[in-house]
Chains A and B, each alone.
Chain A
Amino acid sequence: RKEVEQDPGPFNVPEGATVAFNCTYSNSASQSFFWYRQDCRKEPKLLMSVYSSGNEDGRFTAQLNRASQYISLLIRDSKLSDSATYLCVVNLYNQGGKLIFGQGTELSVKP
């Protein structure tokens, strides 16, 4: 079983749509969680951290359910510029702070 699992997509949505991505992780020792964004043929960049109480950054909302080992990302009012791959990431403190990346979920926002 992969340590971090995501639906690879692609998710094809119209502009203005709301879209949600899910992620599950297998290592209960995972301590912190993040969403990264990777544009085509570019490097990954941190989008946002995910806090236990859930957190929002503009149109983006991240949620964490430690009991179910599940993380989500909700994007409201999708823009064309949101088209990218979204990577779920967990941090294993007990392994030297190793960051484990999911395969990513591809999002394509169409006009």
Chain B
Amino acid sequence: DTAVSQTPKYLVTQMGNDKSIKCEQNLGHDTMYWYKQDSKKFLKIMFSYNNKELIINETVPNRFSPKSPDKAHLNLHINSLELGDSAVYFCASSQNRGLGGELFFGEGSRLTVL
């Protein structure tokens, strides 16, 4: 049983398109995240939600819009895709806003923008 699952795993699309990535966790955690890992391997936090409330919103273009319909789901919608959006997007979840330090990551969604 996958704890944090995200779909799709691979996404190849043209510049200018709009795409979504979905994430679900079955761990009963309160907090969910989106991280972006670029070609240089830096993992950067984009957003965090705690019980459906946005608590971390890094400097991310407003083309990126997260949505949390309930605390087990956090989706990411990206409008007007650009070449620089190509990366691996990881969803993660944690208990207690990650203060204990353990994030459980999904397998990642590899986005390629052509």
- A: residues with CB less than 8 A from B are 8, 32-34, 42-46, 49, 85, 87, 89, 91, 93, 95-101, 103-104
The number of residue pairs between A and B whose CB atoms lie closer than 8 Å in the complex comes to 56
| Majority secondary structure of chain B interface residues (helix, strand, loop or mixed) | mixed
- B: residues with CB less than 8 A from A are 31, 35, 40-45, 48, 55-56, 90, 96-99, 101-103, 105-108
Complex interface: chain A residues within 8 A of B31 (CB) = 97
Contact A42 B101 (CB under 8 A): no
Residue of B nearest to A49 (CB): B101
Contact B102 A46 (CB under 8 A): yes
* Complex Cα–Cα for A85 and B42 (A): 12
- Between A and B, 8 residue pairs with Cβ closer than 8 Å are A32-B99, A34-B102, A87-B43, A96-B48, A96-B56, A97-B99, A98-B45, A103-B42
Complex interface: chain B residues within 8 A of A34 (CB) = 101-102
